[in-house]
Amino acid sequence: MPYSNKFENFIFDLDGTLVDTAPDLSIALNRVLDSVNRPPVDVDQVRHMVGGGARALIVHSLNHTGGLLSDDEIDKLHQMYLDYYSQNIAVDSKVFEGAERLLDTLAENDIAMGIATNKPQYLAKKLINELGMSHYFSSIKGWDEVTTPKPHQDHIMETLAEMGCSSENTLMVGDSETDQKAAHNAGIPVALVTFGYSNEPIKSFPAEIFVDNLSELENLFVKKP
Protein backbone atom coordinates (compact mmCIF):
# COMPACT_ATOMS: atom_id res chain seq x y z
CA MET A 1 0.00 0.00 0.00
CA PRO A 2 2.57 2.63 -1.01
CA TYR A 3 1.18 6.14 -0.64
CA SER A 4 3.16 9.26 0.17
CA ASN A 5 0.45 11.68 1.28
CA LYS A 6 -0.44 12.26 4.91
CA PHE A 7 -3.96 13.24 5.91
CA GLU A 8 -5.46 15.54 8.52
CA ASN A 9 -9.08 14.42 8.15
CA PHE A 10 -10.73 11.03 7.57
CA ILE A 11 -14.27 10.35 6.32
CA PHE A 12 -15.56 6.79 6.62
CA ASP A 13 -18.38 4.87 5.05
CA LEU A 14 -20.21 2.77 7.64
CA ASP A 15 -21.72 -0.57 6.49
CA GLY A 16 -19.06 -2.85 5.07
CA THR A 17 -16.25 -0.44 5.99
CA LEU A 18 -16.28 0.16 9.75
CA VAL A 19 -18.97 -2.31 10.79
CA ASP A 20 -20.11 -5.71 9.55
CA THR A 21 -23.83 -4.99 9.76
CA ALA A 22 -24.95 -7.76 7.39
CA PRO A 23 -26.00 -10.24 10.14
CA ASP A 24 -28.57 -7.82 11.61
CA LEU A 25 -29.61 -6.53 8.19
CA SER A 26 -30.29 -10.07 7.00
CA ILE A 27 -32.42 -10.94 10.04
CA ALA A 28 -34.57 -7.84 9.50
CA LEU A 29 -34.79 -8.53 5.78
CA ASN A 30 -35.81 -12.15 6.24
CA ARG A 31 -38.59 -11.21 8.68
CA VAL A 32 -39.95 -8.96 5.93
CA LEU A 33 -39.62 -11.66 3.27
CA ASP A 34 -41.30 -14.23 5.51
CA SER A 35 -44.28 -11.87 5.93
CA VAL A 36 -44.96 -12.19 2.17
CA ASN A 37 -44.14 -15.91 2.01
CA ARG A 38 -40.78 -15.52 0.34
CA PRO A 39 -37.76 -17.73 1.12
CA PRO A 40 -34.93 -16.27 3.19
CA VAL A 41 -31.81 -14.69 1.74
CA ASP A 42 -28.52 -15.75 3.30
CA VAL A 43 -26.18 -13.29 4.94
CA ASP A 44 -23.52 -13.52 2.22
CA GLN A 45 -26.09 -12.55 -0.41
CA VAL A 46 -27.14 -9.59 1.75
CA ARG A 47 -23.54 -8.38 1.89
CA HIS A 48 -23.66 -7.90 -1.88
CA MET A 49 -27.09 -6.22 -1.88
CA VAL A 50 -26.28 -3.51 0.68
CA GLY A 51 -25.23 -0.07 -0.51
CA GLY A 52 -28.26 1.50 -2.13
CA GLY A 53 -30.29 1.80 1.07
CA ALA A 54 -32.97 -0.28 2.76
CA ARG A 55 -35.66 0.05 0.09
CA ALA A 56 -33.21 -1.01 -2.62
CA LEU A 57 -32.22 -3.99 -0.46
CA ILE A 58 -35.87 -5.05 -0.26
CA VAL A 59 -36.34 -4.59 -4.01
CA HIS A 60 -33.22 -6.67 -4.75
CA SER A 61 -34.35 -9.42 -2.42
CA LEU A 62 -37.89 -9.52 -3.85
CA ASN A 63 -36.46 -9.81 -7.36
CA HIS A 64 -34.18 -12.59 -6.11
CA THR A 65 -36.98 -14.55 -4.43
CA GLY A 66 -39.81 -14.40 -6.95
CA GLY A 67 -40.39 -10.93 -8.33
CA LEU A 68 -41.45 -7.43 -7.35
CA LEU A 69 -44.62 -6.43 -5.55
CA SER A 70 -46.55 -3.17 -5.95
CA ASP A 71 -45.00 0.10 -4.81
CA ASP A 72 -47.49 0.32 -1.94
CA GLU A 73 -46.62 -3.18 -0.76
CA ILE A 74 -42.89 -2.41 -0.98
CA ASP A 75 -43.46 0.78 1.04
CA LYS A 76 -45.15 -1.27 3.79
CA LEU A 77 -42.32 -3.82 3.79
CA HIS A 78 -39.78 -1.00 3.92
CA GLN A 79 -41.39 0.48 7.02
CA MET A 80 -41.67 -2.96 8.65
CA TYR A 81 -37.99 -3.52 7.95
CA LEU A 82 -36.95 -0.15 9.41
CA ASP A 83 -39.05 -0.64 12.54
CA TYR A 84 -37.59 -4.07 13.27
CA TYR A 85 -34.01 -3.15 12.34
CA SER A 86 -34.08 -0.02 14.48
CA GLN A 87 -34.96 -2.11 17.53
CA ASN A 88 -32.35 -4.77 16.76
CA ILE A 89 -29.59 -2.74 15.17
CA ALA A 90 -26.54 -4.02 17.05
CA VAL A 91 -27.39 -7.57 18.09
CA ASP A 92 -24.84 -9.33 15.88
CA SER A 93 -23.17 -6.41 14.09
CA LYS A 94 -19.45 -6.20 14.81
CA VAL A 95 -16.73 -3.64 14.21
CA PHE A 96 -14.32 -4.94 11.59
CA GLU A 97 -10.89 -6.11 12.68
CA GLY A 98 -8.45 -3.19 12.78
CA ALA A 99 -11.15 -0.50 12.92
CA GLU A 100 -10.94 0.35 16.63
CA ARG A 101 -7.16 0.29 16.53
CA LEU A 102 -7.19 2.79 13.64
CA LEU A 103 -9.84 5.01 15.25
CA ASP A 104 -7.95 5.02 18.56
CA THR A 105 -4.71 6.01 16.81
CA LEU A 106 -6.41 8.82 14.90
CA ALA A 107 -8.20 10.09 18.02
CA GLU A 108 -4.97 10.07 20.02
CA ASN A 109 -3.47 12.34 17.36
CA ASP A 110 -6.47 14.72 17.16
CA ILE A 111 -7.35 13.69 13.61
CA ALA A 112 -10.85 14.82 12.62
CA MET A 113 -13.18 11.95 11.71
CA GLY A 114 -16.63 11.81 10.14
CA ILE A 115 -19.03 9.27 8.64
CA ALA A 116 -20.80 9.64 5.27
CA THR A 117 -23.27 6.79 4.88
CA ASN A 118 -26.26 5.92 2.73
CA LYS A 119 -27.97 4.64 5.87
CA PRO A 120 -30.69 6.94 7.24
CA GLN A 121 -29.17 9.36 9.71
CA TYR A 122 -31.10 8.15 12.77
CA LEU A 123 -30.06 4.54 12.16
CA ALA A 124 -26.43 5.45 11.56
CA LYS A 125 -26.27 7.43 14.80
CA LYS A 126 -28.08 4.73 16.75
CA LEU A 127 -25.72 2.03 15.48
CA ILE A 128 -22.61 4.04 16.27
CA ASN A 129 -23.96 4.92 19.71
CA GLU A 130 -24.86 1.31 20.57
CA LEU A 131 -21.39 0.17 19.51
CA GLY A 132 -19.85 2.78 21.83
CA MET A 133 -18.14 4.66 18.99
CA SER A 134 -19.86 8.06 19.03
CA HIS A 135 -16.92 9.83 20.66
CA TYR A 136 -14.73 9.30 17.60
CA PHE A 137 -16.82 11.29 15.12
CA SER A 138 -17.54 15.00 14.85
CA SER A 139 -20.06 14.40 12.05
CA ILE A 140 -22.33 11.52 11.00
CA LYS A 141 -24.25 12.26 7.82
CA GLY A 142 -26.87 9.86 6.52
CA TRP A 143 -28.32 10.04 3.01
CA ASP A 144 -31.41 11.88 4.27
CA GLU A 145 -29.43 14.70 5.89
CA VAL A 146 -27.52 15.93 2.85
CA THR A 147 -28.52 17.81 -0.29
CA THR A 148 -27.55 14.89 -2.55
CA PRO A 149 -26.19 11.57 -1.19
CA LYS A 150 -23.18 9.58 -2.36
CA PRO A 151 -21.90 9.25 -5.03
CA HIS A 152 -22.52 13.02 -5.25
CA GLN A 153 -19.85 15.25 -3.78
CA ASP A 154 -22.44 17.04 -1.61
CA HIS A 155 -22.38 14.16 0.84
CA ILE A 156 -18.64 14.50 1.35
CA MET A 157 -18.53 18.29 1.38
CA GLU A 158 -21.42 18.65 3.85
CA THR A 159 -19.85 16.07 6.16
CA LEU A 160 -16.59 18.01 6.06
CA ALA A 161 -18.41 21.27 6.73
CA GLU A 162 -19.97 19.85 9.89
CA MET A 163 -16.54 18.56 10.91
CA GLY A 164 -15.18 22.09 10.46
CA CYS A 165 -12.69 20.86 7.86
CA SER A 166 -11.88 21.50 4.23
CA SER A 167 -11.37 18.83 1.58
CA GLU A 168 -7.63 19.49 1.56
CA ASN A 169 -5.64 16.68 3.17
CA THR A 170 -8.78 14.52 3.54
CA LEU A 171 -9.02 10.77 2.89
CA MET A 172 -12.27 8.91 2.21
CA VAL A 173 -12.37 5.29 3.39
CA GLY A 174 -15.03 3.02 1.88
CA ASP A 175 -15.88 -0.34 0.37
CA SER A 176 -17.66 0.37 -2.91
CA GLU A 177 -17.76 2.14 -6.23
CA THR A 178 -20.22 4.59 -4.65
CA ASP A 179 -17.56 5.61 -2.13
CA GLN A 180 -14.86 5.82 -4.79
CA LYS A 181 -17.01 8.06 -6.99
CA ALA A 182 -18.11 10.24 -4.06
CA ALA A 183 -14.51 10.84 -3.04
CA HIS A 184 -13.27 11.61 -6.53
CA ASN A 185 -16.29 13.83 -7.24
CA ALA A 186 -15.24 15.80 -4.16
CA GLY A 187 -11.64 15.90 -5.35
CA ILE A 188 -10.20 13.75 -2.58
CA PRO A 189 -8.38 10.39 -2.63
CA VAL A 190 -10.05 7.19 -1.48
CA ALA A 191 -8.92 4.06 0.32
CA LEU A 192 -11.07 1.00 -0.42
CA VAL A 193 -11.21 -2.02 1.88
CA THR A 194 -11.07 -5.46 0.30
CA PHE A 195 -13.40 -7.10 2.86
CA GLY A 196 -16.51 -4.98 2.29
CA TYR A 197 -19.85 -5.31 0.53
CA SER A 198 -19.01 -4.42 -3.07
CA ASN A 199 -20.82 -6.57 -5.63
CA GLU A 200 -17.98 -5.96 -8.11
CA PRO A 201 -14.27 -6.78 -7.70
CA ILE A 202 -13.08 -3.95 -5.47
CA LYS A 203 -9.73 -3.59 -7.22
CA SER A 204 -11.49 -2.85 -10.50
CA PHE A 205 -12.22 0.66 -9.19
CA PRO A 206 -9.66 3.49 -9.55
CA ALA A 207 -8.79 4.02 -5.88
CA GLU A 208 -5.53 5.43 -4.59
CA ILE A 209 -5.25 2.85 -1.80
CA PHE A 210 -6.52 -0.68 -1.15
CA VAL A 211 -6.27 -2.29 2.30
CA ASP A 212 -7.04 -5.72 3.71
CA ASN A 213 -7.25 -4.40 7.28
CA LEU A 214 -8.09 -0.86 8.43
CA SER A 215 -5.05 -0.80 10.71
CA GLU A 216 -2.94 -0.54 7.54
CA LEU A 217 -4.03 3.12 7.37
CA GLU A 218 -2.47 3.93 10.75
CA ASN A 219 0.51 5.78 9.34
CA LEU A 220 -1.35 7.89 6.79
CA PHE A 221 -2.02 10.89 8.98
CA VAL A 222 -0.28 14.09 9.97
CA LYS A 223 1.06 13.74 13.50
CA LYS A 224 0.24 16.76 15.65
CA PRO A 225 3.14 18.45 17.48
For 9-21+93-217, CATH number out of 1.10.357.10, 3.40.50.2300, 3.30.70.890, 3.40.50.1000 equals 3.40.50.1000
The pLDDT assigned to 4 comes to 64
Q: Please give the distance of CA 11 from its chain centroid, rounded to a whole number.
A: 10
Work out whether strand 94-95 and strand 19-20 pair parallel, antiparallel, or are unpaired.
Answer: antiparallel
The pLDDT assigned to 52 comes to 78
pTM, 2 dp:
0.95
The pLDDT assigned to 223 comes to 72
- Residues of the chain within CATH 3.40.50.1000 domain(s) are 9-21+93-217
22-87 belongs to which homologous superfamily? Putative phosphatase; domain 2 (1.10.150.240)
Q: Which amino acid is at 60?
A: H
In the chain (225 residues long), the average pLDDT of successive 10-residue segments reads 79 98 97 97 92 89 96 98 98 98 96 96 97 98 97 98 96 97 98 96 97 95 73
The pLDDT assigned to 120 comes to 94
What is the Cα–Cα distance from 73 to 177, expressed in whole angstroms?
30
Is it true that the peptide bond before 39 is cis, omega within 30 degrees of 0?
Answer: no
* Residue 158 near residue 141 (C-beta atoms within 8 A): yes
Catalytic residue among 13, 15, 20, 175: 13
13 is catalytic: yes
The pLDDT assigned to 3 comes to 65
Burial class of residue 56, CB neighbours in 10 A (0-12, 13-18, 19+): middle
Distances (CA, A) of 194 to 15, 78, 163, 214: 13, 29, 27, 10
What is the Cα–Cα distance from 181 to 177, expressed in whole angstroms?
6
The pLDDT assigned to 5 comes to 78
The pLDDT assigned to 1 comes to 55
- Residues of the chain within CATH 1.10.150.240 domain(s) are 22-87
